Amino acid sequence: MTALLEFQNLKVHWPGRASGWGKPAPVTRAVDGVNLKIKAGETVAVVGESGCGKSTTGNAALGLAPITDGKIFFEGRDLSLLSKQERRDLWQDMQVVFQDPVAALNPRLTVARAIAEPLVIHGWSAAKVANRVDDLMALVGLNPDQRDRRPMALSGGQRQRVVIARALALSPRLVICDEPVSALDVSIQSQILNLLLRLQHELGLSYLFISHDLSVVRHIADRVCVMYLGVIVEEGPTADVFAAPQHPYTRALLSAIPQPDVSRRGRKERVLLKGDLPSPLAPPKGCPFASRCTIAQSVCAISRPPMELRGDDRKVRCFNPA
């Protein structure tokens, strides 16, 4: 089956500014060879620390980041070969929800106007727009009496519901959710995650779900891709990755999640992360995780481990996986 969205060896190298005569401009290797597939109806999470290239990956699919190398396909269509009109049409199929609803919403527009924006741009009649806005508000759990409110009169969770309603206005098939609950209180986070899950079941949506927090993706993602310094280092079905993480980085991320079970036998080994993410301006020659890995061997500083299939459905980029 053709994937809905597919990244093939995607590289995004942001150009920097040259600092002086004769010196080449530095390049940030934000995304450095990402392979990833999302099937129809599936949620794939991309998880990793801040600065590892998650947003740049999503933005490349949205046309907001330059593709240095590799390809992105939507239903088998190479995005780099689309005309301007085809690219605009694709916006109906692929939408985005960013972290900060305050930045995403024009403070002067009412809730109804904000949700209506994409419909108006696509030439819908006023009567059709009004009906669709009512339906969308009900779909995302907003009250009709919130129609004429402005974003600042809403709570953070309600604002994110407006952003989600607007993203769904043109019935997309895929929504890129970039840290959609990171700006919200923990109690509100689960409400928005449950909303996204319900919408997926009702509308058959697919999500590319980006988060720095592994615990957030546990209940929403079918598959998890763990990203480190521009590459995916582990990939697999969510339950399997949580039950038996194989890459030292995934193990460290998981061990940082507080465990509700504190009985002595249930307590997990703690493998905490030391040091910082290396600079993507000068990524290590060998394994990108070598500088922080507690089980690194001499080969790890010299050679890049390839992504290897482990079992039917797991992939790990490590010379010495668990």
Ligand X SMILES: Nc1ncnc2c1ncn2[C@@H]1O[C@H](COP(=O)(O)OP(=O)(O)O)[C@@H](O)[C@H]1O
- The residues of the shown chain that bind ligand SF4, judged by CB under 6 A, are 248, 287, 289-290, 293, 295-297, 300, 305, 318-320
Residue 247 φ then ψ, to 5°: -90, 140
Write out the two tokens for 72.
């992105």
d(CA 292, CA 276): 8
Q: Please report how close the Cβ of residue 321 comes to ligand SF4 at its closest, in angstroms.
A: 7
Q: Of the listed pieces 53-61, 69-77, 236-244, 289-297, which binds ligand X according to CB under 6 A?
A: 53-61
Compute how many other C-beta atoms are within 10 angstroms of the C-beta atom of residue 187: 8
Residue that has been written with the tokens 């301007």 in this structure? 84
Q: Whose CB is nearest to Mg ion?
A: 55
Q: Please report how close the Cβ of residue 49 comes to Mg ion at its closest, in angstroms.
A: 10
Chain residues 4-23 in contact with ligand X, contact rule CB under 6 A: 14
d(CA 155, CA 146): 11
199 or 296: CB nearest ligand SF4: 296
Residue 120 φ then ψ, to 5°: -65, -45
Which member of 43, 56, 160, 206 binds ligand X (CB under 6 A)? 56
Question: Of these partners, Mg ion, ligand SF4, ligand X, none, which one is at the site of residue 28 (CB under 5 to 8 Å by kind)?
Answer: ligand X
Question: Of these partners, ligand SF4, ligand X, Mg ion, none, which one is at the site of residue 300 (CB under 5 to 8 Å by kind)?
Answer: ligand SF4
Residue 111 φ then ψ, to 5°: -55, -50
Residue pair 195/161 in contact (Cβ under 8 Å)? The answer is yes
Q: Please report how close the Cβ of residue 47 comes to ligand SF4 at its closest, in angstroms.
A: 16
- DSSP β-ladder status, 43-47 and 69-74: unpaired
43 or 57: CB nearest ligand X: 57
Q: Please report how close the Cβ of residue 228 comes to ligand X at its closest, in angstroms.
A: 10
Q: Is 278 in the site for ligand X (CB under 6 A)?
A: no
d(CA 31, CA 27): 11
Chain residues 156-175 in contact with ligand X, contact rule CB under 6 A: none
